[in-house]
C-alpha cells in the first residue's frame, strides 16, 4: 500500500516539543491509525453527535473525526492558545517553517486530520489534503477550495456529458462542516484542560462560517488573476 507521509514538529521554548508523523493511504486519502489504540470516552459516536451524522452507534461506535483528534487533544493538554510555537512541516514536496501561535499551528494540523478522518462531511476536502498547504492564509484557502470544487464539477461533467460551473454545492459543504465543527468543539471542551485545541478548531470554523459569503463576494478580488484567460476568450 502506497502511503503519503506528513511530519508536524512543534517546538516550544519552555514546554518542549511535540512531533506528529501522519501516514495517509495514497489511494483512499484517509489516515492510517495505529491498531487497537485506547480511545477516550468523548470519542463515542453518541457523545455530542452531529445532527447530520450519517452513522448510528449500531454501525460505528466512535466518531471518526474525534478519533483523529484524540492524540492531538491529549498531547496539547498543557499548551495555551497564545503560546509561541516554532512549527516545521515536512512533506515529500517541501519543508515549511514558521513561528506562530499554538492555536494557528494546531489549526493547520487539525484541518489535515479532519479531512483525512473518514467522515463523509470532511471527505470533500481530501484533494486539499493531498496537496496540503500548512498555515494557509484565508485568501489561499479561498483560492484552493473554490478551485478544488470547480475541478470536481469538471470531472462530474465529464462523466455525464454536462458542463457544470456553479458553487452552490460548495456552500452546502461548508454549511455541513460548520455544523460538524460546533459539535466537535463540544467534544474537545470536554476533553481539553486548556484552550489550544478548541481555539484551533474555532479558527477553522470561522472560515467555514465566512466561506459562503466569501464565495459570493470575495471571488471578485481573484478575477484579475485570470485576466489573460478572459482576454483570450473575448478574442476568440
For 29-82, what is each residue's pLDDT tens digit? 999 987 767 788 999 999 999 999 999 999 999 999 999 999 988 888 777 788
The pLDDT assigned to 229 comes to 66
Give phi and psi for 15, each to the nearest 5: -125, 20
Give phi and psi for 5, each to the nearest 5: -115, 135
For 164-209, what is each residue's pLDDT tens digit? 677 788 888 888 988 988 888 888 777 766 566 667 677 666 666 7
8 A C-beta contact, residue 78 and residue 91: no
Question: Would you list the DSSP string of 191-233?
Answer: H-SSSHHHHHHHHHHHHHHHHHHHHHHGGGGGGGGGHHHHHHH
- Look up residue 156 and give its three cell numbers: 462530474
Query: 156 is in which domain, residue-wise?
Result: 3-235
8 A C-beta contact, residue 32 and residue 3: yes
8 A C-beta contact, residue 170 and residue 215: yes
- Number of structural domains (the chain) is 1
Q: How does DSSP classify residue 33?
A: P
Choose between 181 and 99: higher pLDDT. 99
Average pLDDT over residues 84-111: 93
Amino acid at each position: 500500500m502506497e502511503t503519503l507521509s506528513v511530519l508536524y514538529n512543534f517546538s516550544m521554548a519552555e514546554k518542549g516539543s511535540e512531533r506528529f508523523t501522519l501516514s495517509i493511504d495514497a489511494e483512499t486519502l484517509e489516515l492510517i491509525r495505529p491498531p487497537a489504540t485506547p480511545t477516550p470516552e468523548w470519542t463515542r459516536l453518541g457523545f455530542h453527535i452531529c445532527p447530520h451524522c450519517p452513522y448510528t452507534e449500531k454501525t460505528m461506535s466512535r466518531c471518526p473525526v474525534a478519533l483523529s483528534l484524540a492524540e492531538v487533544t491529549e498531547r496539547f493538554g498543557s499548551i495555551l492558545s497564545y503560546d509561541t510555537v516554532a512549527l516545521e512541516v515536512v512533506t515529500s514536496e517541501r519543508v515549511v517553517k514558521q513561528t506562530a501561535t499554538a492555536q494557528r499551528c494546531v489549526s493547520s494540523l487539525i484541518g489535515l486530520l479532519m479531512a483525512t478522518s473518514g467522515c463523509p462531511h470532511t471527505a470533500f476536502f481530501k484533494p486539499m489534503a493531498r496537496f496540503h498547504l500548512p498555515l494557509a492564509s484565508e485568501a489561499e484557502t479561498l483560492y484552493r477550495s473554490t478551485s478544488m470544487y470547480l475541478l470536481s464539477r469538471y470531472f462530474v461533467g465529464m462523466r455525464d456529458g454536462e458542463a457544470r460551473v456553479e458553487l452552490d454545492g460548495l456552500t452546502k459543504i461548508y454549511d455541513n462542516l460548520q455544523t460538524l465543527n460546533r459539535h466537535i468543539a463540544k467534544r474537545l471542551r470536554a476533553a481539553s484542560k486548556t484552550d489550544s485545541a478548541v481555539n484551533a478548531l474555532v479558527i477553522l470554523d470561522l472560515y467555514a462560517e465566512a466561506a459562503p459569503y466569501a464565495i459570493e463576494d470575495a471571488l471578485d478580488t481573484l478575477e484579475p488573476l485570470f485576466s489573460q484567460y478572459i482576454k483570450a476568450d473575448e478574442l476568440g
